[in-house]
Amino acid sequence: MGKIGKIEVITGCMFSGKSEELIRRLKRAKIAKLKVQVFKPSIDTRYSIVEVVSHTGEKIEAFPVTSSKEIFDKVEVDTNVVGIDEAQFFDSGIVEVLKKLAKRGSRVIVAGLDMDFRGEPFGPMPYIMAIADDVLKLHAICTVCGEDATMTQRLINGEPASYNDPVIMIGANETYEARCKLHHYVKRDRDDRQA
């Protein structure tokens, strides 16, 4: 009988330490002399094109990929641990890829935002959390009151983003803050107030 794989998820809002925890687990696997492969969406070029980098500067080498299929195709048969950062940006096929990798015996560690700036489930993350063996939900600190933050606040030119803004904005004049539910705000236009 083969080794049983598992799926571990690290989630939470921005600035909660998801990538840092992913990197910590992957570095421990390397210390244990396990073969590790790490993947990130190619659209995430904030700190590095070929590394997962935390906001605190921790880093680990990674393959930038454009689809979940590309992850599956690049994972080598003898890989023990597969790390995936920013999973919310992947297509829905990521769920099947994770299941196949775990069934093959890999330990799969996935990090990603659970909710978008609107406070709604982000991409495939709810499905990934549903199939996970373990889920760790991290909190940040609210930049307004200092309480635990679970929400990601998007600001555009210093103002809260509108509900109708695109979920993914690459190269826009935007910033993000961690916020608690009380201080998280999304502008609502008249035509979407019933949503």
SS3 71: helix
CB 178 within 8 A of CB 13: yes
Q: What is the pLDDT of residues 40-71, one digit of tens each?
A: 998 876 767 778 888 888 888 999 999 999 99
pTM higher than 0.85: yes
Which residue out of 21, 86, 96, 159 is catalytically annotated? 86
Q: How many CB atoms lie within 10 A of CB 1?
A: 3
Helix (H) or strand (E) holding 129: helix 125-131
Confidence class of residue 1 from pLDDT cuts 50, 70 and 90?
very low
Q: Is 177 a catalytic residue?
A: no
Fold of 148-192: Wheat Germ Agglutinin (Isolectin 2); domain 1 (3.30.60)
| pLDDT recorded at residue 192 | 47
Is residue 29 over pLDDT 80? yes
**Binding site for ATP: residue ranges?**
12-19, 85-88
Q: Comparing 6-138 with 148-192, is the CATH topology the same?
A: no
Could you name the CATH architecture of 6-138?
A: 3-Layer(aba) Sandwich (3.40)
**Binding site for substrate: residue ranges?**
168-171, 176
> What are the sequence ranges of the domains in the chain?
6-138, 148-192
The average confidence (pLDDT) of the chain is 91
Q: Are strands 36-41 and 63-65 parallel, antiparallel or unpaired?
A: parallel
CB 5 within 8 A of CB 98: no
Rounded (5°) CA angle 51-85-131 = 155
